[in-house]
Structure 1
Amino acid sequence: MGYVTTADGVEIFYKDWGPRDAQPVFFHHGWPLSSDDWDNQMLFFVARGYRVVAADRRGHGRSAQVSDGHDMDHYAADTAAVVEHLGLRNAIHIGHSTGGGVVARYTARHGGGGRVARAVLIGAVPPIMLKTAANPGGLPVEVFDGFRAALAANRAQFYLDVPAGPFYGFNRPGAAVSQGVIENWWRQGMAGGAKAQYDGIKAFSETDFTDDLKAIAVPTLVLHGDDDQIVPIADSALLSAKLLQNGTLKVYPGFPHGMCTTHADVINADLLAFVKS
């Protein structure tokens, strides 16, 4: 574990486990979490001989709580700084939710020269979440305004309500609710900065990744649960898979947004199969 300083002077925290000569698997977390959200997957892959890397985005987790740069261009550039610092090549980049947007932007703009071998988008925000004239099926801005209002009014309560409800599908009848999972989500969210997370709502909801997706040539796996209450599948994964040059879509019936946690055994097996294919 360590830090890398970006070109604009921001300290980014990263984890780097496993053999240095093994193929790297780089994990990108969702909003408003940290690299800790990938604990299960990182332990799974490092146990199978891979080099696993994950970073806390600027303003999140243990990275610097800076005021500015909370947008996809900076997130991608920060990823590039970690990649170059560690000398990673032929890497598999896996992103969940907002992290999927980072993977798309990073791969399209910084992934050449053999840096990226494959990509995975899980419950990811591309192509664009916001409802616009060009994206009439998106979510209205009032949804995201509600996120911002709840964060500003009582971030601590908001960060209990999201995981206790729609994020993991714990609001569904018969759901196996885990208090530990809820509190771990809260812990990660509260470790980050309120300003970064507030600004990050605009980044994940309003960024248009259409051109990024079209530019990605490496094999890309798109995974999504059809009961995702955070990033609706119809205007994300189904569209992304069509825009990618070499995309493969897999839909999981009944799986929630946080399926990497609630169904880790299934997701891990599918990720491993893709990485080895």
Structure 2
Amino acid sequence: MTGDFSLPMSRRQALFAGAAMPFAFAMPAYATERQILNAPEGASQMAQEFVTTKDGVEIFYKDWGPKDAQPIVFHHGWPLSSDDWDAQLLFFVYKGYRVVAHDRRGHGRSTQVSGGNDMDHYAADASAVVEHLDLRNAIHIGHSTGGGEVARYVARYGEPQGRVAKAILVSSVPPLMLKTPRNPDGTPIEVFNGYRQALAANRAQFYLDVASGPFYGFNRPGAKVSQGIIFNWWRQGMMGGAKSHYEGIKAFSETNQTDDLKAITVPTLVTQGSDDQIVPYKDASLLQAKLIKNSTLKIYNGYPHGMLTTHADVINPDLLAFIQG
């Protein structure tokens, strides 16, 4: 191979080049060369899986399935990426749906931006993806912080634009996680300050502790622990930017989304596990169901915050039933 390699690579080129490098070394030389020489026209279009927002942030997204099928848009939790939806993306794409999932700014493969790490920008970025793909009659599913993103997106963009058919909030943060005089049952600020301190001191260890402990309920007696799930959570977290993650703690804990929930009128499934150690369900899903006009509430006894992964065999068919109902 010849050519001038002195030109700087863009972030998206570097990401895909870096992801491909281990596989290039693992393959015999003839196989690598053959694949390069015989690559189908348009193979480099993987780089088009980004949309640039109005403030110049590159948002990575996945778009699988028939383009004329009903779209389901997935919004991930903190500090993860669209990869956290693997079990749902595969389930729904093989049910005939078009599935779309993006990496929030500062997370995963999206730009490790310095600013805009707040719920307003999260929702605007989601809208940029939706408008870029011109998705209509869509189902929006959000987990944890992604549930807050869904609530703000649907209230501010989705319903006003007539693009949303239904919404699903899973183990989600609204209306407000933080304990305040008007929200006495919320989580004390000291807890979130502890998150910030642990992240700043040793983010790698903090993420390992969260994944191996309360997130999936692996700290419970008799829990069936999966090292693969733990490492995958850690991998996703470490792909993102420390500053975005640090500031994201304020976004998911201190954003009051009561008005967002009240503004939602489309049919909405609200669901959570009763053993959620990250977002207490009595201060989250129970209140969401009361504030959303057209809601259906489903609580799973003993399920953890990360139940979409640990109990996908149960959750996925229930999500499908709501979507098709």
- 1-side partners of 2:89 and 2:278: how far apart? 24
Partner AA of 1:13 in structure 2:
F
Match of 1:54 in 2: 101
- Any idea what the Cα deviations from partners look like across 1:87-146, whole Å, max 9, x if unmatched? 100000000000000000000000123211000000000010000111000000000000
Instruction: Give deviations 1:64-85, integer Å, cap 9, x for gaps.
Output: 0010000000000000000000
Amino acid at match of 1:139: T
Q: Per-residue CA shift, 1:15-56, capped at 9, x if unaligned?
A: 000000000000000000000000010000000100000000
Which residue does 2:242 correspond to in 1?
A: 194
Return the alpha-carbon distance in structure 1 between the equivalents of residues 284 and 59 of structure 2: 28
Q: Say if 2:173 is the partner of 1:131.
A: no
How far is 1:176 from its partner?
0.3
- C-alpha distance in 2 between matches for 1:241 and 1:170: 28
Whether 2:67 is the aligned partner of 1:33: answer no
**Partner letter of residue 230 of structure 1?**
I
| Unpaired runs of at least 5, structure 1 | none
TM-score, structure 1 normalization: 0.99
For residue 87 of structure 1, the aligned residue among 129, 134, 138 is: 134
Q: Count matched residues.
A: 277
Deviations 1:165-187 (A, max 9, x none): 00000000000000000000000
Q: Report the counterpart of residue 226 of structure 1 in structure 2.
A: 274
In the aligned structure 1, how far is the partner of 2:116 from the partner of 2:57?
10
Find out whether 1:14 has 2:44 as its counterpart: no
How do residues 80-119 of structure 1 correspond to structure 2 at under 5 angstroms? 80-112=127-159, 113-119=161-167
Structure 1 CA distance for aligned equivalents of residues 323 and 54 of structure 2:
31
Alignment partner of 1:153 is 2:222: no
Residue 5 of structure 1, CA deviation: 0.2
Q: Could you tell me which residue of structure 2 aligns to residue 165 of structure 1?
A: 213
What SS is found at the alignment partner of 1:119?
strand
Q: Which of the residues 252, 255, 275 maps onto 1:204?
A: 252
- TM normalised by structure 2 equals 0.85
1:71 match: 118
- For CA contacts below 8 A with separation 6 or more, give which structure has more relative contact order: 1
| Runs of at least 5 residues in structure 2 that lack an aligned partner in the other structure | 1-45
- C-alpha separation between the residues in 2 aligned to 1:100 and 1:7? 23
